[in-house]
Amino acid sequence: MSTFGIAKSGDSSKAQVKFGRIDADLGDVDKASARAKEYVFSQQHPEGYWCGELEADAMLEADYIFAHVLLGTGEEGKMRRALTEMLRYQNEDGGWSIYPGGPSNISLSVKCYFACKLMGMKPEEPILARAREWILVNGGVVKCNTFTKIYLCFLGQYEYDAVPAVPPEIVLFPKWFYFNIYEISSWSRAILVPLSIAYAKKMFKKIPTEQGIDELFVGGRENADLRLSWDKTKLLSWRNFFLFIDRITHWFERIHIRPLRAIALKKAEKWMLARFEMSDGLGAIYPAMLNSIIALRCLGYSLDDPQVIRAMDEFEKLGIDEQNGTADYSEPTFRMQPCVSPVWDTAQAVFALGEAGIPRTDPRLLKAADWMLSKEVRHKGDWAVKVRRAQPGGWYFEFNNEFYPDVDDTGQVLLALSKVDNPRERYQYDVSQRAIDWVFAMQCRNGGWASFDKDNTKMIFQYIPFADHNAMLDPPTVDITGRILETLATYGYTRSDKRVEKAIHFIFREQEPDGSWFGRWGVNYLYGTFLVLRGLEAIGVWNHEPQIQQAAEWIRMVQNADGGWGETCGSYDDPNTRGIGPSSPSQTAWALLGLLAAGDTRSDSVAKGIKWLLAQQQADGSWDESLGEGRTRQAIYTGTGFPRVFYLAYHLYRNYFPLLALTSYKKALEREAA
């Protein structure tokens, strides 16, 4: 039987909680929280925001090299440093992985190999020999995804007739038509529209033969079967239907029957240019920005055209140039980020600091709040196609991305603003109310919330041949829905609101048999489960409900022997590995926050988890979240871009989430003692 006691001195820093076998000293928690608060504040930008590095796989450096070779641009030294960065992460088997510790990936490995060749490396060099051997054993170039194959077409390494068609005529479909572009995810839209321009123009640049990758085709390029295969198990299938349409499209291309091509290209260009405005590049994300630059050149824009200069400048801003090396790696390197995350990081940091007891009138929080308020969306974007009557509101992820606010950022900013007493009280209230109204307008039919669009759920799009990047849709998810429930509760909403109750029913329907919830935007079930539990607790769902206790038991069940929690990106490929992985500060914090939300303050699991966080904190108040040593050191990826395709490491997750967990733990114990 556990015992519980609080020191009577009245000084909570001297309080000690006893758990039989484990002691958790609240004094240590206080000290760790104080150091963490100091460190988080040390990362604040003078303008008031936070923006940690956003790390992704070596594809970004490979594509950077590819893009500058294709465009005939780029600084040689920077490209060399990008090659150095890319080579750091080659696996022992010769390939490259889309997350640290993961299996080699064929598309990424082909891109990296090609980048090496473009930079003058010879095929007999050991790095390329190992890579080539792995690629050929795993099927060669023909096994790559569509986007990789189309990029290869640009430099003459694949056949346009053998890749899925991406015709620009897709922009001509009316908004009421079942297959219009607003029925696919916002990020796919931003990627595909400029790509369709490059596809239509058949972008091509001849490169020296020695830079080619014919050696990556099993049996030789001339003997390779490049066409997509039919579904032979089921003649009447959506895959075969779309492949048939694809073949017809290619046939029309070959005989030059394209009556609407000129109109389509003009509309695609206009669509793209319009979304350059009030944004840090198209969609403010790496692949869309890169494709838009290629599309501009295909349309005849010169390198000194203001639109191209601006697009290139925004693209280059994503780079981090380490000309003097890093603490772990002495060689100069250059790496690219997939985008930047200032609104997201600022909202998370302010909320964690507010929860940690920073006064609501602290000038640093006020400055951050005013910065966030300045980023409110006041123009209608793509979301308004389906949500016509709603007024603009909410926030985006990056510095500027007016066309693409998202529900997740909006919910987190609202949580952050609730921690600040702003002298502009009325203004902040009006902005918050607009955001809440917009969030309600974005609620999907099934009760949940998606990220950028409403009811973006037509599963048929997953069968389109060019949809193999596994991110064509933006369906409602439980992680975002959980965050929105917490936000709505903070602003006074209860279960008496039918929209809230509908969201709760959505969450319960989505629970896995073992009690966990899937995480779409963080890795993975630990992320989804903690956000759901926090949302349900905040909105007033009794924590003794069987669904809640089953989720808490799942979290306790997957705790590591060292007291922490971890989960790898591999759980998206194999759900049987959910909750399994090396302990990390952010995921340990998520697990603890989930257990505390479920009413668990006394279990050994919680005490061990807190002690793990305390033991792992560094002298400066931060936490380390990485794998490997020296040259191969790499952050643990706990963020999700596209499941099974693209993952992320948010470099500030490791700091503000543990701070939130420690302070939530202390508050829970003090409430219980009271």
Q: Which residues are catalytic?
A: 408
- Any idea which residue has 């909403």 for tokens? 493
Residue 54 tokens, joined: 């956003």
Strands 634-635 and 626-627: antiparallel
Regarding beta strands 634-635 and 639-642, do their DSSP bridges make them parallel or antiparallel, or are they unpaired? unpaired
| Sequence letter at residue 55 | E
Q: Which residues pair with 429 in a beta bridge?
A: none
Query: Distance (Å, rounded) from C-alpha 205 to C-alpha 208?
Result: 10
CA distances to 171, 267, 364, 463 from 168, rounded to whole Å, are: 6, 9, 48, 19
| Contact (Cβ atoms closer than 8 angstroms) between residue 394 and residue 406 | yes
Query: Do 192 and 181 touch, CB atoms closer than 8 A?
Result: yes
Q: How far is 279 from 447, CA to CA, in rounded Å?
A: 30
**Residue whose token pair is 């295909």:** 298
Q: What angle do CA 526, 339, 282 make, to 5 degrees?
A: 125
For residue 374, CA distances in Å to 6, 168, 279, 368, 395 come to: 44, 36, 14, 10, 10
Question: Which residue, chain included where needed, has tokens 């820093």?
Answer: 13
3-state secondary structure of 334: strand
For residue 343, give the nearest of 636, 648, 45 by alpha carbon.
45
How deeply is 229 buried, as exposed, middle or buried, from its count of CB atoms within 10 A (0-12, 13-18, 19+)? exposed
In degrees, to the nearest 5, what angle opens at C-alpha 146 toward C-alphas 142 and 152? 70
SS (H, E, C) 14-74: HCEEEECCEEEEHHHHHHHHHHHHHHHHHCCCCCCCCCCCEECCCHHHHHHHHHHHHHCCC
97 strand-pairing partners: 104
Please tell me whether residue 243 adopts helix, strand or coil conformation.
Answer: helix
Q: Judge whether 36 and 658 are in contact, CB under 8 Å.
A: yes
Q: Contact at 8 Å (CB) between 413 and 437?
A: no
Indicate the SS3 state at residue 93: coil
**Exposure class string for 466-486: b at 16+ Cβ within 10 A, else e:** bbbbebbbbbbbbbbbbbbbb
